[in-house]
Chains A and B, each alone.
Chain A
Amino acid sequence: MDDEKRLIAQLAAGDLDSLAVIYREYGGAMTTLARTLLRDRDEADDVVEDALVRVFEKAGGFRGTGGLKAWTLRIVLNLSRDRLRRRRFIAGDLDDAARIERAGLRVDPVEGWDEALDSATTLAALERAIASLPAEQREAVVLCHRVGLPYAEAAATLGIAEGALRARLFRARAQLKAALAPLAREGGA
Chain B
Amino acid sequence: MSAPLDRDDARLARLLASVRADAPPASLARARARLAARAAGASFAPPALAWRFRPAALAAAAAAGVVALAAGGLWSGGAATSSRGSLVASLASGGGSIADDLLGESGEPASDAAPHGAARDSGGPS
Contacts and interface: CB of A to CB of B under 8 A. Distances in A.
Interface stretch (A1-9, A62-70, A144-152): A144-152
Decide if the interface of chain A is mainly helix, strand, loop or mixed: helix
A56 B37 CA distance: 14
B31 interface: yes
B52 interface: no
Contact of B9 (A46, A127, A173): A173
B120 interface: no
**B contact residues, range:** 35 or more
Given A19-B32, A49-B31, A112-B14, A28 B126 contact: no
Query: Chain A interface: which size bin?
Result: 35 or more
Interface in B48-74: 54-59
Contacts of A16: 32, 35-36
A21 B114 CA distance: 55
B16 interface: yes
Interface of A: 14, 16, 19-20, 23-24, 27-28, 30-32, 35-36, 40-46, 48-50, 52-53, 56-57, 87, 90-92, 103-113, 122-123, 126-127, 130, 141, 144-146, 148, 150-152, 166, 173, 176-177, 180, 183-184, 187-189
Which are the 10 A-B pairs with shortest beta-carbon distances?
A27-B23, A52-B31, A42-B55, A151-B2, A145-B16, A188-B11, A42-B56, A31-B21, A42-B59, A48-B27
20 contacts: A20-B32, A28-B22, A30-B23, A40-B56, A45-B55, A46-B55, A49-B27, A91-B126, A108-B18, A112-B11, A113-B14, A122-B18, A123-B19, A130-B16, A141-B16, A151-B2, A173-B9, A176-B16, A180-B15, A184-B8
